[in-house]
Structure 1
Amino acid sequence: MYVRRSNMEDIPAMMDLYAQARVFMRENGNLNQWDENYPSRELLEKDIAFGNSYIVEDDEKNLAATFAFIKGEDPTYYGIENGAWLNHEPYGTIHRLAGNTSYHGIASGCISWCKSQIGNLRADTHEDNKIMQHLLEKNGFVRCGIIHLANGAPRIAYQFAGDSTNYQGSNEQSQQNYNQPNRSNQPMQNQNWSVREVSSGGRGFGIASMVLGIIALVLFFSFVNIPLAILSIIFGIIQLTRKAPKGWQSPGSS
């Protein structure tokens, strides 16, 4: 499996996967979380433009999952009711996770990838989405309270903060309200696949390097060829650096 940032060409396949996810939700008792227009194409385009949209592909480049992963403050998390966040350290947020159910453990693999990016994570889900609640708790997230979306709709808020036992005292109210056991130390279900981050295919710096190199050759006897040649070398180095993949292996069996 390979995870990379999405691009505009991926949107049709992503929307198909989200359509399948909505059907799956309805079939499993979650009737109200996503309407037929969510997530919209405009929202996916925004996620992609800000570099927050990701897809997971198999070796044949079939779409296995998609999700938004955003580092930084989420405005809908400023207030929380009936509990408290585990901490207020910098965090990343997982939104709009949808996986092809024919790939065993794909959703947990996506969450593990997010953990590899930052060890402090938040997420929220609808009260009827029992599957997502179980998935988050299985992967060490603690139920913290209730947050409200921009439109006022309530959502159950979760946080992963590594070993959540370190925060049981500060989050005692939340733990009492929901009576949730600490599951952060439970190993993940066996994942017989690995995920490796790869480049989304951007070649901008490489092309710029080539063009500047050609111009520098044409203007060989001009005083501007030296700075152009230097820029060409710099862009070439950046492109080579950007193409280097960064790998990780999902957690082992219990």
Structure 2
Amino acid sequence: MTDNNVITFRKANSQDIDDIWKIIQQAIERRKKDGSTQWQNGYPNRQTIERDVEKDFAYVLLVDHQIAVYSALIINDEPAYSKIDGKWLSEGDFIVVHRVAVDNNFAGKGLVKILFEKIEEFAVSQKINSIKVDTNYDNMAMLKILESKGYTYCGEVMLADGMRKAFEKLII
């Protein structure tokens, strides 16, 4: 990445679905090559992405008008988060970050850190001061990013495909 790259964060639309699905497939393959069990059971699938777009959960980070990173942002709706083996930092409104995936052409360039900065700006714009996220125990890249961005480990949550480490960051 250079200072000349134009980075944009926006809600995804139906025209983005093919590009997003390609990025998700790349991420599934990367997780598999890393030896992870995360995303190896048919989730997320194309219908997941279509639902994200339909429900206005889908967001993309673009570099020079090309989709580089995908994420689903969901406000106040993650049933699995109601039962945590541990304790959340807050009990008010929150944004859940799910399905973060980076295009292979942009992997390793620090874009997920930029994505999380954009998500914080989005939270502020929505007057929400909590961002919650979970990840697999073996997703070292995401665990490092969450630590570097100031997320606090809160405990474990059970999702459909297994136990996840849960994190929260309060935006002040």
TM norm structure 1: 0.59
Q: Distance in 2 between matches of 1:85 and 1:35?
A: 28
Instruction: In structure 2, list runs of 5 or more residues that go unmatched.
Output: 1-6, 124-128
Name the count of aligned residue pairs: 159
Please state if 1:5 is matched with 2:11. Answer: yes
- Tell me whether 1:37 sits opposite 2:42 in the alignment: yes
Deviation at 1:37, TM superposition (A): 2.7
How far 1:110 sits from its partner (Å)?
A: 0.8
Residue aligning to 1:128: 138
Within-5 A mapping of 1:78-97: 78-81=82-85, 83-97=86-100
Quote the residue 1:24 is aligned against.
Answer: 30
> Is this contact kept in 1: 2:32–2:40, CA < 8 A?
no
Structure 1: stretches of 5+ with no match in the other structure: 164-254
Runs of 4+ in 1 over 3 A off after TM superposition: none
Secondary structure in structure 2 of the residue aligned to 1:69? strand
Distance in 1 between residues matched to 2:156 and 2:79, nearest whole Å = 14
CA contact (8 A) 1:141 1:158 kept: yes
1:36 to partner: Cα distance = 5.9
State how far apart, in whole Å, the 1-side matches of 2:24 and 2:47 are: 14
- RMSD, aligned α-carbons: 1.7
Number of the residue aligned with 2:3: none
Aligned to 2:77: 73
Identical aligned pairs, as a percentage? 26
1:91-110 to structure 2, matched below 5 A, reads: 91-100=94-103, 102-103=105-106, 104-110=109-115
Q: Work out the CA distance in 2 between the residues paired with 1:139 and 1:88.
A: 21
| Matched residue, 2:167 | 158
Q: Which has the higher contact order (CA 8 A, sep 6+)?
A: 2
Whose Rg is larger? 1
Contact 1:124 1:156 in 2 (8 A): yes
Equivalent residue in structure 2 for 1:57, among 58, 62, 65: 62
* Preserved CA contact (<8 Å) 1:100 1:106: no
In structure 1, the residue corresponding to 2:70 is in which secondary structure? strand
Q: CA deviation at 1:55?
A: 1.2
1:6–1:54: 8 Å Cα contact kept in structure 2?
A: yes
